A and B are shown apart, each in its own frame.
Chain A
Amino acid sequence: MRNRFADTFYELGKADPRLCVVVADISPAGSIAKFRHEFPRRFINTGVSEQIMIGMTAGMAQRGLRPFAYTIATFALFRPFEMVRDDLCYQNLPVTVVGIGGGVTYSTLGATHHAQEDVAIASAIPNLSVIAPCDPSEVEAATRWCVAQEQGPVYLRLGKAGEPDLSKAAADPWVFGKLRRLREGGDVCILSYGPIMKRAFALAERFEAHGKSAAIVSLHTLKPLDREGLAKILQGYAHVVVVEECAPNGSLAMRVKELAWDAGATCRIDTFTLKDAFIHCYGSHDDILDAHGLGVAELTARLGLQ
């Protein structure tokens, strides 16, 4: 994901001199290193100083530039939280805050590096759009949208590296604020976003094995949420499943249940989120998702598909 972001940003940055990237002591991946080499004044490293990283992007946007702040998700959003809220969101400036390693991607680094509440917290701030692409193709589409948009601040939540491309074959294009069907199916609809999407595909296979056809939908834009599209799904399917890499409070799961009530939906709803807990598990990203109760085998059992 970060390489696709870097490639896309580099390509667009060559054409638009307003594009800048402000990082806080993070080594520039792939093409961002090329961007730095070719446009050294448009690449700024504030060092281990995230408050000035965000503050500077606000000032730069006020004077006509289009800056991206870029660092590990916890340090992009949590450490400089009030700068994100006041400088970017209150003033409604077109700045993109890129959080690398959203959720529990940095699985060996412990909870100091886990942005397990990032989507919930970002979604709570007025004016802030929240985008969490599920694969490199969605990263590219989202990055193009962030560069072109003028409406306000965005939190762009990325994984890290090596995510499979899951949406290439999707019939729907990526459209900001619109949910996106990645796979057709009539009996069950699985809603997900971000790198955990690959588990949604694994679950769909299990449903198929039990004779149920499962659709998969990418909720890449968490804010504004496609309430209309979700209401249709909640009214159109007998069974809706949410799988996400976010703490439960303020999660998509919570919002889907709220929408189901508003829409008068009668479908079965199963939701699977990270636990509301700091988990002292050090292993691969898959290991820590399993430790949060999101293992495919466990989900299969909880869905009665064994």
Chain B
Amino acid sequence: MDATIATLRRNSLDVAAARRRCLGYRRRILDISQQVGALHIAPAFSCTEITDVLYNSLMRRETNGEYRDVFLMSKGHGCMIQYVILEERGVLSRSDLDAYCKPNGRLGAHPDYETPGIAASTGSLGHGLGMATGQAYAEKLKESDVLIYCVLSDGEFQEGSTWEAMMMAANLKLDNLIAFMDFNDFGGLERMSDGHRAFYPLVPKAESFGWEAVEIDGHDESAMQEAVMSRRGGRPLLLVCRTVKGKGISFMENVPIWHYRSPNKEEYQQGLKELAEAPL
């Protein structure tokens, strides 16, 4: 494990390149939004940097280019960002994404197991961390060094099943399990911290369940990379990543309707303009 961390540290994150990539991903998702009636655009924008730092920095690859570590998108409705990254990496093809949510395609609004690059079928919330726990335990039994990365929504932490997984992953001392909570504070209905005040703060809850936990800016890739690399270890790690739902397009940010809606032509043009003018 030490050698792995050393290797990763040598691949230092190029923050400017990451920013350019993320603008490109948002642009691609915006383009796809014009092909189909609706997609989960804001939930993908809130975890764009999280997904980018995982695929383009943290996850190790085999010499043949395949990922050695596992990425499991528990918040299945965030899968657009995963699809566009997998497209860029050549795991999915351009025609796969062109056929998104079309009857001749293989990509739906939630990821399906056995589609290239997809570690589990998700979409119903509260399932991913349990499966990730089983995957991480299997890697322990196999005595491999594979790391399981799991991206969850903050809403999923309202599911009891997520806390069953939190309990077991800590019981089993799964230090090969690293979870990212996309803490955008919006459910489908409203701002979660308004409706469920007693649920906060989150870090002490995770810590009391036996996890190492840290709260961090979920749009700051170097901070997320550093938090993973400098983990104490010996137990699973949760990054509570503060994010903005709809990040990057002003009229989408923190506006619940963009959970599942495609922009019209005018909104699309404005979105493109904002991305083009965004500082690099």
Chain A interface (Cβ < 8 Å from any Cβ of B): 20, 41-42, 44, 46-47, 49, 51-52, 54-65, 67, 82-83, 86-87, 90-91
Check A58 against B134 for contact (C-beta < 8 Å): yes
Check B127 against A83 for contact (C-beta < 8 Å): yes
**Additional A-B contacts beyond A41-B140, A59-B132, A61-B134 (14; CB < 8 A):** A46-B168, A47-B167, A51-B130, A52-B165, A52-B167, A56-B130, A58-B120, A82-B124, A87-B121, A87-B130, A90-B113, A91-B113, A91-B114, A91-B120
Chain B residue with the shortest CB-CB distance to A65: B138
Check B141 against A65 for contact (C-beta < 8 Å): yes
CB distance from B86 to the nearest CB of A (A): 18
**Is B135 among interface residues, defined by CB-CB distance under 8 A?**
yes
Check A49 against B167 for contact (C-beta < 8 Å): yes
**Is B66 among interface residues, defined by CB-CB distance under 8 A?**
no
Check B138 against A52 for contact (C-beta < 8 Å): no
**Is B133 among interface residues, defined by CB-CB distance under 8 A?**
yes
Give the size category of B's interface with A: 20 to 34
B116-172 residues with Cβ-Cβ distance < 8 A to A are 119-121, 123-124, 126-127, 129-142, 160-161, 164-165, 167-168, 172
CB distance from B149 to the nearest CB of A (A): 13
Check B135 against A63 for contact (C-beta < 8 Å): yes
Check A62 against B164 for contact (C-beta < 8 Å): no
Give the chain B neighbours of A57 by CB distance below 8 A.
134
Give the chain A neighbours of B130 by CB distance below 8 A.
51-52, 54-56, 58-59, 83, 87
Q: How far is it, in angstroms, between the C-alpha of A254 and the C-alpha of B135 when the chains are bound?
A: 40
Check B133 against A42 for contact (C-beta < 8 Å): no
CB distance from A259 to the nearest CB of B (A): 33
Check A42 against B141 for contact (C-beta < 8 Å): yes
Check B142 against A63 for contact (C-beta < 8 Å): yes
Check A86 against B124 for contact (C-beta < 8 Å): yes
Give the chain A neighbours of B126 by CB distance below 8 A.
51
Contact residue among B137, B142, B160 (Cβ-Cβ distance under 8 Å from A59): B137
CB distance from A116 to the nearest CB of B (A): 25
Chain A residue with the shortest CB-CB distance to B128: A55
Check B121 against A86 for contact (C-beta < 8 Å): yes
Check B121 against A60 for contact (C-beta < 8 Å): no
* Leading 7 A-B pairs by shortest Cβ distance: A55-B130, A59-B134, A63-B138, A56-B134, A59-B135, A52-B164, A59-B131
Check B127 against A62 for contact (C-beta < 8 Å): no
Given known A44-B137, A62-B134, contact A87–B168 (CB-CB < 8 A): no
Give the chain A neighbours of B121 by CB distance below 8 A.
86-87, 90-91
The interface centre, meaning the residue of B129, B140, B142, B168 with most chain A CB atoms within 10 A of its CB, is B168
Give the chain A neighbours of B172 by CB distance below 8 A.
44
Give the chain B neighbours of A42 by CB distance below 8 A.
141
Give the chain B neighbours of A62 by CB distance below 8 A.
113, 119-120, 131, 134-135, 138
Give the chain A neighbours of B167 by CB distance below 8 A.
47, 49, 52
Give the chain B neighbours of A64 by CB distance below 8 A.
138, 142
Give the chain B neighbours of A63 by CB distance below 8 A.
134-135, 138-139, 142
CB distance from B70 to the nearest CB of A (A): 8
Chain A residue with the shortest CB-CB distance to B148: A59
Chain A residue with the shortest CB-CB distance to B168: A52
Chain B residue with the shortest CB-CB distance to A49: B164
Give the chain A neighbours of B134 by CB distance below 8 A.
55-63, 67
CB distance from B214 to the nearest CB of A (A): 24
17 contacts between A and B (CB under 8 A): A47-B167, A52-B133, A52-B167, A54-B130, A55-B129, A56-B131, A58-B131, A59-B120, A59-B133, A59-B136, A62-B134, A63-B135, A82-B124, A83-B127, A86-B124, A90-B113, A91-B113
Give the chain A neighbours of B132 by CB distance below 8 A.
59
CB distance from A235 to the nearest CB of B (A): 41
Q: How far is it, in angstroms, between the C-alpha of A49 and the C-alpha of B172 when the chains are bound?
A: 14
Given known A62-B131, A86-B127, contact A55–B165 (CB-CB < 8 A): yes
Check A56 against B142 for contact (C-beta < 8 Å): no
CB distance from A40 to the nearest CB of B (A): 11
Given known A62-B119, A62-B120, A91-B120, contact A56–B137 (CB-CB < 8 A): yes
Q: How far is it, in angstroms, between the C-alpha of A60 and the C-alpha of B174 when the chains are bound?
A: 13
The interface centre, meaning the residue of B119, B123, B130 with most chain A CB atoms within 10 A of its CB, is B130
